[in-house]
Chain A
Amino acid sequence: MQKVSLFFCFGLFFLAIAIIAPKPTPQRPAPYFIENPIFLRMLLGPFHTLAADSYWLRSVNIDPQDQPKNRDKQSSDLFDGAKLIQTLDPLFELNLRYSATYLASIRKDVDAAHALCDIAIRFHPQYSYPYILKISNELGYRHPYRYDKIIEWVKLAKNTTIDSPAWLTDVLVMARNKNDQSELVLADLNWLLGMAKSPQEAQMIQAKIDKIKHAQAL
């Protein structure tokens, strides 16, 4: 008898809970504002890439057309979400390329795009693609371009150990020429000649040096 009444009471309890308990709301509040995502990463331990995946899935909820809440802080749902995902998985190239390009091109917020690339660089400085993304965003979406910055990033990208493409040399020469620093081009090229990884690359750089010297002689 006692058992039956216990089951009955449990049944009543669950029924009451099912009626009273608050239902999950279909529209979640803005999920993405975390001031310092690095602390979340600290707590997550080896599960941070899994968390990055789940945030990437939840980012479907973000409306890319939302306006920045505060222009000075570059704070918007899109930027916050991208920053969070990028911190949790700094090598998540898909997120970096999509978000940085979106911020720079459609939002016209090139600084926010650079801030995202900086997160990837901070965790893994040995890869060149965040620098290249920075250079292309700067060249593509900011007027006028900041050539000093481009020169700095090209040099940093050339110093990386993994996949720095050969055409970065051309970008460097172009940025110096546009910046009226043609006398520094030779110094840069000599520096690059010392760093050349293959004889073909060295030959190409030597040809450029000869061309500039020839132009100066004229």
Chain B
Amino acid sequence: MLSDINCIAESTFKALLRQRLTAFFLTLTAIFIGFGLLMSTVDIGVRFRLFENLLLGMQTFLLHIAGWLYLFEMVRKEQSLGLFVLPLTTTIKRSHYFIGRFLGVVWLMLLLLAFFAIIDSLLMLIISGSVNIGLLQQLYLLSLSALLSMATLYFLTTLVSPVNAIIYSVIIWFIGNGLDELLLFAEKKLTATSTELIRGLYYLWPNFSFFDKTELVANEIGLSWQQIAFPSIYSLLYSSLLLWAATLIYQRKALNPMAE
């Protein structure tokens, strides 16, 4: 069973890596890092704060966009080329096929994360002489955020078309990021009933604000192990639950798009 999934993941990984999207992301990374290096001379009272924030901001953007676009590209190609009938012609189980495809994209994201971590450490060593460990920890948390939003997108692709799914998952990501501020606002300004409703949303909705520790990193306050462990467990559990639900839907789905 594992070898099935592994095999599909590997082939997906290699196919995605060869796409034009990869060149696009490498170019964007190079442009962003060049911009960051240009701005690294600006001292805003706290040295290297702007540079580190720029690095983090750009890589947040790239990680999420890469996750969404690779997954979208994969599902779209699968549907337009009719690859989705593949599980019918072979002995591979539908669920293994479905999970394997997702894991292929996750591997790609891990590669991207390693690439970013190495580049960041090198740049920080060259420019400031020491590595801010908090930045690497935050980068790890952001990749977990990307994983959760990818799982949301993958779950949505089983229900609606890929284009709609990407729009919905971006909206879900935006709402999920604002939930902590919304709760703070509700506790101060809104009525008790609305506050309870928002509190419910805070715990049920994919909450991306758990992964946002940028203000600690920007002000060079280290993260404690609880601040890393909780988002890790949250992201992994929530994504696997979503993947499980998506697999159940996919197993019963009519694979002929004309039938829908």
Contact = CB atoms under 8 A, between A and B. Distances in A.
Interface of A: 36, 38-39, 41-43, 45-50, 52-53, 56-57, 89-94, 122-123
A90 B215 contact: yes
Given A46-B177, A49-B214, A56-B44, 10 more contacts: A36-B185, A39-B181, A45-B174, A46-B56, A48-B214, A48-B215, A89-B218, A91-B215, A91-B219, A123-B215
A46 B211 contact: yes
Contacts of B178: 41-43, 45
B184 A53 contact: no
A53 B216 contact: no
25 contacts: A38-B184, A38-B185, A39-B181, A42-B181, A42-B182, A43-B178, A45-B177, A45-B208, A46-B145, A48-B212, A48-B214, A49-B56, A49-B215, A53-B218, A56-B44, A56-B45, A57-B44, A57-B50, A89-B219, A91-B216, A91-B219, A91-B221, A92-B218, A94-B45, A122-B184
Given A89-B215, A90-B215, A53 B174 contact: no
Given A38-B181, A53-B53, A94-B46, A46 B219 contact: no
B96 interface: no
Contacts of B218: 49, 52-53, 89, 91-92
A123 B184 contact: yes
For the side of the interface on B, what is the size category? 20 to 34
A42 B177 contact: yes
Contacts, number: 77
Given A90-B215, A94-B45, A46 B142 contact: yes
Contacts of B173: 45
B49 interface: yes
Given A38-B181, A38-B185, A57-B44, A47 B208 contact: no
A38 B45 CA distance: 24
Nearest to B54: A50
Contacts of A48: 212, 214-215
Given A53-B49, A94-B46, A46 B184 contact: no
Interface in B150-190: 173-174, 177-178, 181-182, 184-185, 188
A50 B57 contact: yes
A53 B44 contact: yes
A45 B212 contact: yes
B60 interface: yes
Nearest to A162: B221
B42 interface: yes
A193 to B, nearest CB: 29
A2 B228 CA distance: 61
Nearest to A95: B45
A82 to B, nearest CB: 14
Contacts of B211: 46
A46 B214 contact: yes
Contacts of A89: 215, 218-219
Nearest to B182: A42
B56 A43 contact: no
B140 to A, nearest CB: 13
Contacts of B50: 53, 57
A53 B184 CA distance: 23
A90 B216 CA distance: 10
Contact of A47 (B44, B57, B181, B219): B57
Contacts of B57: 46-47, 50
Nearest to A127: B221
Nearest to A59: B44
Contacts of B142: 46
Contacts of A91: 215-216, 218-219, 221
A115 to B, nearest CB: 13
B43 to A, nearest CB: 11
A49 B185 contact: no
A50 B184 contact: no
Contacts of A42: 177-178, 181-182, 185
A36 to B, nearest CB: 8
